Structure 1
Amino acid sequence: MGQTQSYEAKPPSKEEITAHLAEKFARKCFEPLELYSFKDNFKSLADTEQNVRYLKEDTIARFLELPDILAVSPVLFHMLAYIGAFPFLRDAPVILGFEQMIMVVVIMTERYNKVLTKGASSRRKLLFKSLAVYDRKLSEIETQQRNTTPSQPFTGTHAPGFAVDEAGDDLEDDTADDDDDELVLAALDSLDINDAFKKGDSHAATTHGAMIPVDNFRKLIMLLLLVSPLDAQENISSYAERVAGSELEDLRATAENVLSAFVDVEKSPGITYAQFDRILPSNLPFLFKGFNPLFEHFLFSKNLDLSKRKDGVSKTKTVSPAIPRPPLLQDKGRILNLSVLSQLSFFISGNDLFRRLRLLYSGSKAGYSMGGFESKVFNWRAPTILLVSGTRLSDPPSRDRSEEAFHDTLPPKRFPNGSPPDRDRLIFGALVRQPWRYTHKECFGGEDTILFQLAPTHDVFPASTLNRDYVALLKAPAANPGINFGCPHPKASQSSRHGSLRNLGPVSLVIDSSFEFGVFTHDYSSRGGAFATSTSRKYDFQERFEIDDIEVWGCGGDEEARIQRERWQWEAREAEARRKVNLGTGDIAADRALLEMAGLIGANRSGGSMA
């Protein structure tokens, strides 16, 4: 009949889809020179076995210059072998061939956003799955702890640990598993893959029953602290001093503080997806930013010589001496070190921190007083970061008179401490983006103010929109002078009554005017404060501490420093001019005219006797 039998088009194989997606990623996410460099790096690094070119764990560790002492290479390679299987994650782990490494670099540097429209939450789930293990024993231990240990603070006789998942978290976790992996679906949609082919592929590894082992995550956090200030063409080896001696100990201690935001490391075997997904957006939104410049190393080839012409003849070139870069931290502080600086970059943009901070005020240098604070901080017209460190006060308080006087200004302590007794060194802080000033009638600060704790637990309390009691700076004769974050501003009637109790906000930090004592309050059940409650510690706690040191760091460069110097010079000239005003020289008419010009006498003002 002249009719031919029709055949449906054969669906593409997984290998064809992976190659097609890798080609699309490489074309749209890499510049031509970057793609050339990537190919050159892969060619020079790859091993070959049975005509398959691939990268081994030790090769990647050596290329990225991962420090051996961190022992993080197996953890990172586990991640890459999973991410390299994208979009067919159920095939993980995979051999890291050319197409697989394109997937790795595109996802680890967040360049996939140029092709796929899904946001950070999809990448967050992918990173969790790449770190997680599916161990029935670990899951049983976690389930048993969840059923027997409620979320509660530390007390003097029992230390149950930080908040573990509540009942609602499991439901949230299960719901997440019922949804397809959005990043996978977006990748397949970008290739116009038939829906029938997608079925079953996105459920490669669900988050239910999975967890990140605590020890693995600790090692990864140490690496992320190390690489957070890294530039794309800067090597980890340039920070070799940070993984030796006392700086290595600082790195470990800081990693422990960050890890404590997720779990009680002594009791929990791992981190569940519910904890990971809940805590990262609010407490550590930039935790994985250091991966961007680290994996961009694959996009810069040392063999690339831009001095050669097309005919192969090298141009005459002059090598300019390398301009030394300023240090990550220009000044030395007693609280802020390089590890704490990296910790800050997990929730404050590194562009405002690295090579940008100046030590404006240090209690150990300028004296612990409101006057010293004012003279050093008030003229800075850019954001500032206040840090205060201290040691937890004993409960009940000691018989020290100054300590007793401080306790007398506070309401009775209703809440337990927020961390175990053996971790009594506390660090709190605040990011304030408005210039500092005394607050006679109302608080200052905006919705971009951030209150935070760095030790012994990492926690972030962003500004709320419920009220604007963000920052108050009070000096005598106001009642209970000092620096307050999140506390209602004292009313005029309260200011006149000496000895009135401080009005502590639901989430607040108070530093007394002598800079000797402080108190941090977290009234989780109260709500309604100027700062949001913790996403990891869902309970009430209060920390009363003796201040060891207090620092204020200015976020800014040379221009901000110049403006501050000019303001200081102007104030110095004004003070000198006031000292030179000489009244009572005998010329009463001239003196009276001067006082009238100043508005001090005349009209209804008597100004006192001139005789």
Structure 2
Amino acid sequence: MGNNNSSNTKKKPSKTSKPKHDTSNISLLSPNGRISRISNELLKRKFSQIESYSLRASFDNLSTINERGIAHISKGAFIGYLGFPDDIGAGPLIYRSFTYLANYPSVGHTNALLTYDGLIKAVAVYCNLTEDIINEDRVKLLFDSFSISDNDIHNEQKDPSISSESSISQIPQLVTPEDTEFLKAIGFYETDHSKISKVRKQDMVKILTGLIWLMSSEMSSINASSEELKQNLKKIISPKFINQIHEDAVHVVEHMVRYDNSTNIKSDQVITWLTFSNFIERNAPNIFRGFLPFIYGQFLIGLTLSQQRSDTLFQGPKVQYWPKLDLHSDILNQMNMGLLSWMLPESVIKRRYWNCLYSSSKHGFSMNRFHRNVFKYPGPTLMLIHADIDISSQRRKSVSSISSGAGKNEVMATSKNKKHVNTLLLGAYVADPWKSTSNPKTCFGSEECALFEVLPVFEKFPATKFNSNYVYYNPSFGIGFGGIATSSITSNVITTSERNSFSLQVDNTLQFGRYRNDAAHHEVKPTYRLSATRQYFDIPFEVIEIEVFGLGGDLAKEKQEKEWEWEEAEAAKRSGFKRSGNKEEDKEILKLAGIIDEDSRKEIQIWES
């Protein structure tokens, strides 16, 4: 990082000189005429020269001077510059967040102005540029910046069960800080719930809607032509698109509030920090990552255009922060990719490309074709299953007959949106190359593997480390996650889906599957964590589409193709077959010779009751 002093002029500094602060107009820098120590440290240590220049130029373009001579960015100018559609409602919340962070370390929701000094601190927090300078949990800071007080909540009252007589705050002159810590330890001190950080549910929906919209917008602009940008812009600002995102955000927040174990705060109105942190720790560790590329692009890479522009996201230089798919996907649209980015390891989100290795609609519902397209890939993969819950089928047990109805109701009633009622979007993150086995109790994978459900409930199932039954692949059985294919650890016979222990499985036709959460179902301890909010479910489903994506980077797909070409060449040598050089012709001849057989498959009926 270089010296990051910035200039008041909008002219780009020459390559031989560094921009300097214009001390003749120093009153524009902050209310008291100077940049605070924290902001100065951030500029020097965390911002490059061009980033500092861009930030200052953006402030100069947006700022106005009030009657006291203080330069600041008004709420209207800030919201207009961000460019969120009004229907989303995220702009005012982000402005409120910026003014909160601008006051650091004296944070609070006051009527403070967004000065240049405050803008430096807020942008640094949003762009994760605060290490060793602002020693706070970044996610906690962002959550607090969106929070509200009890006085802001309509008809919200403090819990009357908390007695004011037992509050230490009533007798501060008699209690030292050391005494307070001791009384907390023995349980005497009662927490003041009015001081717990909390965000309105409706505000959280707006924040998540804004994040998904941002990610969708950024993905739409990756390597897009001018004409494609115009079409994408028209789509993402349409009420229909925004409403779809809003519905996805609502179903995430509906599940989030179920992580609230508090009896003192009404979860029907607010989400506390404890609830939020419990939820994101398991399900969405990257939930605020979408702000980083957006705020960075708006303030730190030269987006210094007029505040009146209406198509903010599609102007200025572009930096790719999200992976681009090499082929069109029926499942992994922009919204679902945004949701999954909260769950998946950040290392794979940073990849430039994701390769579609297998698609059942393109390659066919075949274990052999799955094997040919997915195996030998030398990196992590993402398997997605789009399925219908078919409880009326006579071939499979209905959900209501499996239990007293709790499993069905918990799944069906989670979302108020009808499009989610009978649809499942499930998946698995497989951190290791795929392997096949004939042993019904031998699996592959590592503790980095995870299962997840996107619809109708947004939930991730990380590995428990109890055992290594992560992924099972057998052409005569199908694919299973989190269990073994036998009825017990002493058996060596592959059994039906009702009797094995898999949490998620698809049969060898790749057309039917089962999704289960049942701690008492089998003697094998769960490989993946059970649901945090649902005690039990057992759901047979019919597959609509299966897709597998390679997340290993630019060279992984190329390496996979070379591995297959070498193996097919070796097979041809062993058979005495001379290759023609035409890949498709060679494949057809090898199939006729019986050397490779993509179409044959041994199927077992595991869904008959």
Normalising by structure 1, report the TM-score.
0.69
Alignment of 1:263 onto 2:264: no
Residues 325, 356 of structure 2: 8 Å contact kept? no
Within the candidate set 32, 40, 45, 1:23 is matched to 40
- Three-state SS of the structure 1 residue aligned to 2:342 is coil
Residue correspondence of structure 1 range 130-145 to structure 2 within 5 A:
130-135=145-150
Alignment of 1:416 onto 2:407: yes
Within the candidate set 425, 428, 431, 1:427 is matched to 425
Alignment of 1:382 onto 2:373: no
Residue correspondence of structure 1 range 72-87 to structure 2 within 5 A:
72-87=90-105
State the alpha-carbon separation in 1 of the partners of residues 198 and 321 from structure 2.
Answer: 41
Q: 1:519-568 deviations in whole A, cap 9, x for unaligned? A: 22223688941112334x15333333222111111113442222222222
Letter in 2 for 1:387: L
Shift of 1:504: 2.0
Give the structure 2 partner of residue 101 of structure 1.
Answer: 119
State the alpha-carbon separation in 2 of the partners of residues 325 and 54 from structure 1.
Answer: 30
Give the structure 2 partner of residue 182 of structure 1.
Answer: none
Give the structure 2 partner of residue 597 of structure 1.
Answer: none
Alignment of 1:334 onto 2:352: no
Residues 382, 554 of structure 1: 8 Å contact kept? yes
Distance 1:345 1:261, change over 3 A: same
Distance 1:94 1:499, change over 3 A: closer
Residues 293, 321 of structure 2: 8 Å contact kept? no
Shift of 1:124: 2.6
Letter in 2 for 1:67: P
Largest Rg, 1 or 2: 1
State the alpha-carbon separation in 2 of the partners of residues 392 and 79 from structure 1.
Answer: 41
Shift of 1:454: 0.7
Q: 1:254-299 deviations in whole A, cap 9, x for unaligned? A: 323432331379x933322221111112211111112222222322
Residues 284, 346 of structure 1: 8 Å contact kept? yes
Residues 37, 300 of structure 1: 8 Å contact kept? yes
Distance 1:473 1:123, change over 3 A: same
Give the structure 1 partner of residue 600 of structure 2.
Answer: none
Residues 126, 291 of structure 2: 8 Å contact kept? yes
Give the structure 2 partner of residue 40 of structure 1.
Answer: 57
Any unmatched runs of 5+ in structure 1? Answer: 1-13, 145-166, 178-204, 305-320, 583-611
Normalising by structure 2, report the TM-score.
0.69
Give the structure 2 partner of residue 55 of structure 1.
Answer: 73
Give the structure 1 partner of residue 464 of structure 2.
Answer: 464
Residues 525, 539 of structure 1: 8 Å contact kept? no
Q: 1:439-464 deviations in whole A, cap 9, x for unaligned? A: 22311000110111111121111112
Give the structure 2 partner of residue 347 of structure 1.
Answer: 343
Give the structure 2 partner of residue 218 of structure 1.
Answer: 205
State the alpha-carbon separation in 2 of the partners of residues 234 and 361 from structure 1.
Answer: 23
Residues 451, 460 of structure 2: 8 Å contact kept? yes
Letter in 1 for 2:204: F
Give the structure 2 partner of residue 570 of structure 1.
Answer: 566
Letter in 1 for 2:432: Q
State the alpha-carbon separation in 2 of the partners of residues 372 and 214 from structure 1.
Answer: 45
State the alpha-carbon separation in 2 of the partners of residues 322 and 130 from structure 1.
Answer: 28
Residues 384, 555 of structure 1: 8 Å contact kept? yes
Residue correspondence of structure 1 range 432-471 to structure 2 within 5 A:
432-441=430-439, 442-471=442-471
Shift of 1:578: 4.6
Letter in 2 for 1:221: L
Alignment of 1:521 onto 2:516: yes
Larger mean CA deviation between 246-255 and 70-79 belongs to 246-255
Q: 1:416-450 deviations in whole A, cap 9, x for unaligned? A: 13422552211110110211121223110001101
Letter in 1 for 2:449: T
Distance 1:581 1:292, change over 3 A: closer
Letter in 1 for 2:201: V
Letter in 2 for 1:483: I
Residues 485, 501 of structure 2: 8 Å contact kept? no
Residues 158, 194 of structure 2: 8 Å contact kept? no
Residues 402, 538 of structure 2: 8 Å contact kept? no
Residues 38, 133 of structure 2: 8 Å contact kept? no
Residues 473, 480 of structure 2: 8 Å contact kept? yes
Give the structure 2 partner of residue 603 of structure 1.
Answer: none
Residues 330, 357 of structure 1: 8 Å contact kept? yes
Shift of 1:235: 12
Distance 1:142 1:510, change over 3 A: farther
Letter in 2 for 1:503: N
Alignment of 1:123 onto 2:119: no
State the alpha-carbon separation in 1 of the partners of residues 147 and 558 from structure 2.
Answer: 50
Shift of 1:57: 2.2
Residue correspondence of structure 1 range 478-517 to structure 2 within 5 A:
481-490=477-486, 494-496=491-493, 501-505=498-502, 508-517=503-512
- Three-state SS of the structure 2 residue aligned to 1:542 is strand
Identical-pair percentage? 24
Letter in 2 for 1:416: G
Give the structure 1 partner of residue 264 of structure 2.
Answer: none
Distance 1:97 1:116, change over 3 A: closer
State the alpha-carbon separation in 1 of the partners of residues 489 and 343 from structure 2.
Answer: 37
State the alpha-carbon separation in 2 of the partners of residues 115 and 425 from structure 1.
Answer: 47
Residues 358, 374 of structure 2: 8 Å contact kept? yes
State the alpha-carbon separation in 1 of the partners of residues 382 and 389 from structure 2.
Answer: 22
State the alpha-carbon separation in 1 of the partners of residues 497 and 49 from structure 2.
Answer: 69
Shift of 1:472: 0.5
- Three-state SS of the structure 1 residue aligned to 2:246 is helix
State the alpha-carbon separation in 2 of the partners of residues 357 and 53 from structure 1.
Answer: 45
State the alpha-carbon separation in 2 of the partners of residues 385 and 279 from structure 1.
Answer: 22
Give the structure 1 partner of residue 545 of structure 2.
Answer: 549
Distance 1:141 1:455, change over 3 A: farther
Letter in 2 for 1:431: Y
Letter in 1 for 2:412: P
Give the structure 2 partner of residue 298 of structure 1.
Answer: 299
Alignment of 1:227 onto 2:217: no
Distance 1:366 1:515, change over 3 A: same
State the alpha-carbon separation in 2 of the partners of residues 326 and 466 from structure 1.
Answer: 34
State the alpha-carbon separation in 1 of the partners of residues 407 and 151 from structure 2.
Answer: 35
Larger mean CA deviation between 519-528 and 218-227 belongs to 519-528
Count of equivalent residues? 481
Give the structure 2 partner of residue 64 of structure 1.
Answer: 82
Give the structure 1 partner of residue 606 of structure 2.
Answer: none
- Three-state SS of the structure 2 residue aligned to 1:263 is helix
State the alpha-carbon separation in 1 of the partners of residues 121 and 223 from structure 2.
Answer: 22
- Three-state SS of the structure 1 residue aligned to 2:545 is strand
